[in-house]
Amino acid sequence: MSYQELAPERLLSLGTGAPEVAERAWHVRWDATPAPESLVTAVLPPVLDFHTSGSTGPSRHWQRSRAAAWEEAGMLAGFVRQDQPGAVVAFAPPVHVYGALATLLLPARLGVPVWYRPGYIGALPDTGQRRVVIVATPWIFSLLRRNMAWVRSFERVTVLYSSAMLPADAGLFLQEAGPGRASLVELLGSTETGGIATRRWSSGEPPAWTLFPDVTYAPERAGTGQDGAGPADGPAVPLVIRSPRLASRPGEPAPPEWHTGDLVEPLDERSFRLLGRVGRLVKVNGQRINLDEAEHALRARLDCADLALVPVHDPMIGEHVDLYVVPRPGAGTADADPSAARAVLGARPRKVHVVPGLNRSAMGKLQQPPTEPTDSEVAT
């Protein structure tokens, strides 16, 4: 794969959605660029436009100020600077907030060269550096595992990740690379909020989340989650935050606070345990299930190309779950054995749908779940 070298001013002037920026491989020498902040201020518009993925409803238009984006990119640089990276290798499309911050602006903040690759196929770059930051999307972990010789050519690899729940390949990648070489910096946020919280780990159980430096819990907002319980009937409150970086709708002021849709267990004024998304916590036969965690566990049990657990309402028993399975090429419906789902969920899914594919965004989020057509359904 050839990485076209772009001048920083050319990259910024094209816009985040331009095919030359989002769909082609490129390389930018921020290490040879004096006064990057002045260049960003001169070239980027004062207001940046983004759209939500449409995974939980219609896509919506949101705006963030250039100053807030530059400030947040500085925070991201602070999260990875301790590893002394000499380059960034990015895979997150700049058309999304995360990609705009981490692929476009983070390298400028660090003052290091960046290589961007939009697809799974092609050569990984020769950065000439011993320490790198990898701006990852969900599929990148399997790519890194396929290219461990490239990974092991580095003294230090810091993977920056902000998207759907971590795939199983993430933990396997850390094990194979080794804690002395690789670490993972996770970001929790959204188009509407920007970054909310972060955590860093390299082995074992992931730690609690810590709020970004300029984010606080909204006061007097402690409440209860669905049915007043978390996934294991523990304490659960909605995560409602205040931040100077909240996005705004066109022509409207930014809201004073934002209900994230997450349920958390606060540990202190700055940290929390994430219990799950409202709408991704369901109670089946009296047992509360975090569907994101269940999907994570199920991927290790089912040999398939993709899968998704979708909450549904059954008129007879109330809340339930449907499982969508995409078989690997040449495989049959036998690989969609519902007994694996039962072992993870503690109950059989209402239905198992075998489908040719699932519609996911570039960041791995499931778009509106498929209902028709299905190839077949497996009896449960």
- Whether residue 144 is found in the same domain as residue 19: yes
CA distance 3 to 121: 13
Q: Does residue 334 surpass a pLDDT of 60?
A: no
Closest CA to 193 of 352, 80, 68, 336: 68
Residue 100 lies in a domain: yes
Question: Rounded mean pLDDT of the chain?
Answer: 86
Q: What is the CATH number of the domain that holds 62?
A: 3.40.50.980
- Whether residue 197 is found in the same domain as residue 332: no
CA distance 122 to 296: 27
| Confidence tier at 4 by pLDDT (50, 70, 90) | very high
Of 216, 245, 265, the one marking the end of a domain is: 216
Measured from the Cβ of residue 55, the count of other Cβ atoms closer than 10 Å reads: 17
Strand blocks (E) in 117-193: 131-136, 156-161, 182-190
pLDDT digits (tens, 9 = 90+) for 81-98: 999 999 999 999 999 999
| Confidence tier at 228 by pLDDT (50, 70, 90) | very low
Cα-Cα-Cα-Cα dihedral of 204, 209, 214, 220, to 10°?
A: -170
Lowest mean pLDDT among 11-20, 78-87, 281-290: 281-290
Residue 358 lies in a domain: yes
CA distance 132 to 105: 16
Closest CA to 266 of 305, 218, 226: 218
Q: Does residue 5 surpass a pLDDT of 80?
A: yes
Residue 126 lies in a domain: yes
Own/partner pairs for 267-275, CB < 8 Å, 24+ apart?
Answer: 267/208, 269/216, 269/217, 270/210, 270/211, 271/208, 271/209, 271/210, 271/211, 272/197, 272/208, 272/209, 272/239, 273/208, 273/209, 274/188, 274/209, 275/225, 275/230, 275/231, 275/234, 275/236
Question: For 250-254, what is the mean pLDDT?
Answer: 95
At residue 363, the pLDDT reads 62
Closest CA to 140 of 109, 123, 161, 157: 161
Percent of the chain exceeding pLDDT 70 equals: 84
Most confident of 217-231, 286-300, 365-379: 286-300
Residue 255 lies in a domain: no
Number of domains in the chain: 2
- Whether residue 122 is found in the same domain as residue 12: yes
At residue 314, the pLDDT reads 66
At residue 233, the pLDDT reads 43
Cα-Cα-Cα-Cα dihedral of 97, 19, 1, 84, to 10°?
A: -30
At residue 333, the pLDDT reads 61
Lowest mean pLDDT among 30-34, 94-98, 109-113, 341-345: 341-345
Q: Does residue 164 surpass a pLDDT of 80?
A: no
Residue 238 lies in a domain: no
Residue 367 lies in a domain: yes
- Whether residue 79 is found in the same domain as residue 208: yes
Q: Which residue has the higher pLDDT, 229 or 125?
A: 125
| Confidence tier at 286 by pLDDT (50, 70, 90) | low
Most confident of 14-23, 65-74, 263-272, 334-343: 65-74
What's 107's DSSP letter?
H
Residue 144 lies in a domain: yes
- Whether residue 201 is found in the same domain as residue 287: no
- Whether residue 187 is found in the same domain as residue 312: no
CA distance 37 to 300: 44
Percent of the chain exceeding pLDDT 90 equals: 54
At residue 267, the pLDDT reads 93
- Whether residue 285 is found in the same domain as residue 212: no
- Whether residue 48 is found in the same domain as residue 183: yes
At residue 225, the pLDDT reads 39
Q: What is the CATH number of the domain that holds 348?
A: 3.30.300.30
- Whether residue 168 is found in the same domain as residue 312: no
CA distance 256 to 16: 27
**Domain containing residue 353:** 281-378
Residue 272 lies in a domain: no
Question: For 336-346, what is the mean pLDDT?
Answer: 78
- Whether residue 198 is found in the same domain as residue 303: no
Of 216, 234, 268, the one marking the end of a domain is: 216
Of 164, 187, 216, the one marking the end of a domain is: 216
